[in-house]
A and B are shown apart, each in its own frame.
Chain A
Amino acid sequence: MTMAARVLSWLALAGTIVPPILFFYDRVSLDQTKLWMLIATVVWFAAAPLRDESARPE
């Protein structure tokens, strides 16, 4: 669970920044950029708390 949350949160961060980079280099449209950023945002806010929860001391 911890590892999955960690991997997902890293993927979400990548999903937040890679689409605008691709848009900057004219590889994807603005609509695609917005959609991928929204998906990444949802994933980030779902995964990051689980990752942080597991990192907390008992």
Chain B
Amino acid sequence: MSNEYEREPVPPEAQLGFGSFIGQYAGEHTAGTELMIGPLFVAAGVSAVDLLGGLLVGNLLAVLSWTFLTAPIATRARLTLYYQLERICGRRLVTLYNLANGLMFCLLAGSMITVSATALGVWFGFAMPQLNDVYPTGLGWILAVLAIGAMVTVVAAYGYEFVSRVANIAAPWMVLVFIAFGLVGLRQMGVTSLAEFWPKAQSVIWTGGAPLPGQIKFTFWHIMFFAWFCNMAMHIGMADLSVLRFARRSWYGISTASGMFLGHYLAWVTASILYVVQLRADPSNTAVLPGPLAYNACGIAGVICVIVAGWTTANPTIYRAGLAFQAIMPRVSRYRVTMVTGAITTIVGAFPAVAMQLLDFVALYGMLLMPMGAVVFVDFWLSKRFGFQPNYAERSGTDFNWAAGLTWFVTLAGCALLVLRGGVQLYFVSLPGWFLAAILYLALSRLLQRPVAAGIPAGVQPL
């Protein structure tokens, strides 16, 4: 639905009901990468209270971010993020944003291809990557990634509608397979009734010991901030303005709870249980390989789930990356851009480093795009109150709003400094980063904006 009304507000007759968003968010956030993230929490030595409590609070904060930050702007302006940014920042700055966004989508889709390739390893038995591997592990692995990457790319270029349909069909079944992973895993660890769950959870499953070699220790705060910020680009970063602009009411933002509590709670927890089963069977086998994990629990149905989950989410991600790049090179056909994007993504997928370091990558992804979310927020709600003009690029005719550009660059430099020199971990830096970006944009806009002539379109304003 995001391809319609790209440069105009969504009209009332095109707006959608609450149910449409529940299904969409549940499907989008039950992805192949959930099978990586759950095990990586275990590798980080998380305890039961920290995991279950951190996920509860973090996911709730994510839902509230969509509901109270993204949806109110989406349902008032009813514009895509790209168009809204273009009006605020100007075309050249949006091009830079598209480049960063497209590259991040490529890396994300690459990790999804990595996940799907681990499923092929179950059948063909080639050497698969270990937890700390960076480079491809052999010819078999490369061929598997190439096969899946080629399939995903061709479908993204030709038949996106088909995959979208498969994703919708698979969604209810996939959620049940994720629940099955948990049930089978719990039974394999000796849990035979619900009453036994909590004692076993604390003493056997998520014991909170030392992290595995090469991993950092995760606490409640790591889990909470990760769950909150892993989709930061979508809520606080405002990318889902493009989705929620179709919502009839602002409170529909709460529909994101379906994705958070099915995909980012249930699926992460059950995937982590499968990894604990593997570690208990062989403590030296620390590899996080969704294919074998799923096969051991649910057989071929589990492997199909890994392939479908990875494929159906890699496809729209490549498609979105292609759209972002095409915006930079509008003369090149979308087909050609998508094919090149898919080739880059496939190469990324062959390197297991991104998938194995997925927790860090996802945190970085959110941080990189977050400042532009702060720019949109301040521009929409605070510009009049603080005496500067909203949608300055559109009003002034500039193609590079330096207030927004400097906000982005200085915030990222500040966050990088905090991580590299200040000893602040990547997971925690985006919260102060958002406030820094908001204050910077406000101050720089007041400082740098020049009066513009009357009669220039005022754009969409808060009601």
Determine if chain A interacts with chain B: yes
Name A residues whose Cβ lies closer than 8 Å to a Cβ of B.
12-13, 16-17, 19-21, 23-26, 30, 33-35, 37-38, 40-41, 44-45, 48-49, 52
CB distance from B189 to the nearest CB of A (A): 11
B187 contacts A16, CB within 8 Å? no
Q: Which residues of B contact A24 (CB under 8 A)?
A: 183-184, 186-187, 191-192
B168 nearest CB neighbor, chain A only: A52
Cα separation A33 to B177 with both chains bound (whole Å): 12
Cα separation A13 to B174 with both chains bound (whole Å): 10
Contact partner of B187 among A12, A26, A34, CB < 8 A? A26
Q: Which residues of B contact A34 (CB under 8 A)?
A: 298-302
Known: A26-B192, A44-B173, A45-B169. A21 touches B183 (CB 8 A): yes
B305 nearest CB neighbor, chain A only: A41
Cα separation A20 to B176 with both chains bound (whole Å): 10
Q: Which residues of A contact B192 (CB under 8 A)?
A: 24-26
Chain B interface bracket (under 10, 10 to 19, 20 to 34, 35 or more): 20 to 34
Q: Is B199 an interface residue (CB 8 A)?
A: no
CB distance from A6 to the nearest CB of B (A): 13
A12 contacts B173, CB within 8 Å? yes
Cα separation A17 to B300 with both chains bound (whole Å): 15
A44 nearest CB neighbor, chain B only: B173
Interface SS, A side: helix
Q: Is B172 an interface residue (CB 8 A)?
A: yes
A20 contacts B299, CB within 8 Å? no
Contact partner of B173 among A30, A33, A35, A41, CB < 8 A? A41
A48 contacts B184, CB within 8 Å? no
A37 contacts B169, CB within 8 Å? no
Cα separation A45 to B177 with both chains bound (whole Å): 14
A48 contacts B180, CB within 8 Å? no
Cα separation A10 to B280 with both chains bound (whole Å): 36
CB distance from A7 to the nearest CB of B (A): 15
Looking at A38, A41, A49, the one whose CB has the most chain B CB atoms below 10 A away is A41
B184 contacts A49, CB within 8 Å? no
A13 contacts B172, CB within 8 Å? yes
Q: Is B344 an interface residue (CB 8 A)?
A: no
Q: Which residues of B contact A23 (CB under 8 A)?
A: 183-184, 187
A37 contacts B173, CB within 8 Å? no
B301 contacts A20, CB within 8 Å? no
Q: Which residues of B contact A35 (CB under 8 A)?
A: 299
B301 contacts A38, CB within 8 Å? yes
Q: Is B304 an interface residue (CB 8 A)?
A: yes
Q: In residues 143-192 of chain B, which contact A (Cβ within 8 Å)?
A: 165, 168-170, 172-173, 176-177, 179-180, 183-184, 186-188, 191-192
Q: Which residues of A contact B168 (CB under 8 A)?
A: 52
For the complex of A and B, 7 pairs with smallest distance between CB atoms: A34-B299, A20-B180, A37-B301, A20-B183, A41-B301, A24-B183, A16-B176
Contact partner of A49 among B169, B179, B183, B300, CB < 8 A? B169
Known: A20-B298, A38-B299, A45-B169. A30 touches B184 (CB 8 A): yes
B169 contacts A33, CB within 8 Å? no
B299 contacts A16, CB within 8 Å? no
Q: Beyond the given A16-B177, A37-B301, please list 11 additional residue pairs across the A-B interface where CB-CB is below 8 A.
A: A20-B180, A20-B183, A21-B183, A24-B191, A26-B192, A33-B184, A34-B299, A35-B299, A38-B300, A41-B173, A41-B300
Q: Which residues of A contact B186 (CB under 8 A)?
A: 24
Q: Which residues of B contact A37 (CB under 8 A)?
A: 177, 180, 298-299, 301-302
CB distance from A25 to the nearest CB of B (A): 7
Cα separation A45 to B179 with both chains bound (whole Å): 18
Q: Which residues of B contact A48 (CB under 8 A)?
A: 169, 173
21 A-B pairs (CB sep. < 8 Å)? A16-B177, A20-B179, A20-B298, A21-B183, A23-B184, A24-B184, A26-B187, A34-B298, A34-B300, A34-B302, A37-B177, A37-B301, A37-B302, A40-B301, A41-B173, A41-B301, A45-B169, A48-B173, A49-B169, A52-B165, A52-B168
A52 contacts B180, CB within 8 Å? no
